[in-house]
Amino acid sequence: MKVLIADDDLTSRQILESVISRWGFQPVAVEDGLKALQIMSEPEPPSLLLLDWEMPGLDGLSLAHHLSDEDSADGPYIIMLTARDGNHDIVSGLAAGASDYITKPFETDILKARLELARRNIELQDKLNAALKKLEVLASIDELTHLPNRRSALVSLGKEMDRSLRHRTELCIGLCDIDHFKAINDNFGHATGDQILTQIANLLKSGFRQYDVVGRYGGEEFIFAMPTGKTGADMVLERLRASIATHTFKTADNDLAVTMSFGAVMLTDAEEMSLNDWIRAADEALYESKGRGRNQVTFYPFL
């Protein structure tokens, strides 16, 4: 674990570098707060800091306050190491954002114990942050298809819509639905239906482009957005429709043929409509595809 030492006294820095190296830490030593701040702005900065209070340029208290003001779930663990030993100083140091406070001269055993405590706290915080990130991912992904779930997909669509309106660029929003999916579940069972959904999701992931949005909207229905004009959108959707219609869906018990219907709408700033309005328009186009015999792509407005 890297430890940033910021102390303007050369002897103090050298002693700290020597002792913490023996304890298995990797010291990074600087002589003032401005250089310490520069190191903390670099990629992968130290997570544990030993700061002297009085330093040129930027003192330790100001540095601690600055670093603690940053909006971060894994901010540095700061230990103030200073000759200031008054109760008011200790309170000020902790209030500025320091996690611990050690007065000089210090006992090496005390410093070692405090550093080990800091290491444990940092490791626990890292595990907590990793768990929270994992939960965040799980909360945004559909468990079966591994596509973004409805909530996550709608957030992405909203961002694409805002970007399109802001930059006046073309955007296609749409829905697609597996044809006769209820019959698949009724005739072959829900396990087979799940296998079909998983394979459909893989075809959609590979068929849409990297910068397109596609997610599971619910049941056998999927939602998508493509930053492209109508000609480009029609080409992508027709290619997807054809690839699904010609694909052999292999399940545990059967090889099945499956088709999908698509409904899409081109976003325009000529009309003041919400995202829900555009989705409803795409839904009308989808049902028009169903009414025309399924396995089709229909754009709203349709003739």
**Helix (H) or strand (E) run with residue 3 in it:** strand 2-6
The pLDDT tens digits for 45-79 are 999 999 998 888 888 888 988 888 665 556 899 99
Give the closest residue to 149 by CA, choosing from 135, 162, 159, 139: 139
Catalytic-labelled residue, pool 31, 44, 136, 220: 220
In this prediction, residue 254 carries a pLDDT of 87
The Cα 281–Cα 263 span in angstroms is 8
Q: Which of the residue ranges 35-39, 86-90, 102-106, 269-273 would you say has the lowest mean pLDDT?
A: 269-273
* pLDDT of amino acid 268: 79
Token match 């003192």: residue? 59
Q: Which fold has domain 150-300?
A: Alpha-Beta Plaits (3.30.70)
In this prediction, residues 269-274 reach a mean pLDDT of 71
CA distances from 9 to 31, 39, 56, 108, 159 (A): 7, 19, 11, 18, 52
Q: Position of tokens 């399940």? A: 251
Residue 270, pLDDT > 60, answer no
User: In what side-by-side order are the strands of the sheet with 213-218?
Assistant: 213-218, 221-226, 171-178, 260-267, 297-300
pTM above 0.75, yes or no: no
8, 131, 132, 133, 183 from 142: Cα distances, Å: 54, 18, 17, 16, 23
Phi then psi dihedrals of residue 262, to 5 deg: -125, 140
Q: Which of 70-74, 154-158, 191-195, 273-277 is predicted with the least confidence, judged by mean pLDDT?
A: 70-74
Torsion angle defined by CA atoms of residues 84, 90, 95 and 96, in that order, rounded to the nearest 10 degrees = 20
pLDDT in the model for residue 71: 54
DSSP run (H or E) holding 301:
none
**Annotated domain spans of the chain:** 2-140, 150-300
Query: What is the per-residue pLDDT for 96?
Result: 84
Give yes or no for a contact between 114 and 48, defined as CB atoms under 8 angstroms apart: no
Q: Check whether 269 has a pLDDT greater than 70.
A: no
pLDDT of residue 302: 81
Q: For residue 220, indicate whether it is catalytic.
A: yes
CB count within 10 Å of CB 103 equals 15
Task: Determine the pLDDT at residue 88.
Answer: 86
pLDDT (tens digit per residue) in 160-191: 999 998 888 999 999 999 999 999 999 999 99
Q: In this structure, which topology does domain 2-140 adopt according to CATH?
A: Rossmann fold (3.40.50)
**pLDDT tens-place string over residues 78-91:** 998 888 878 888 88
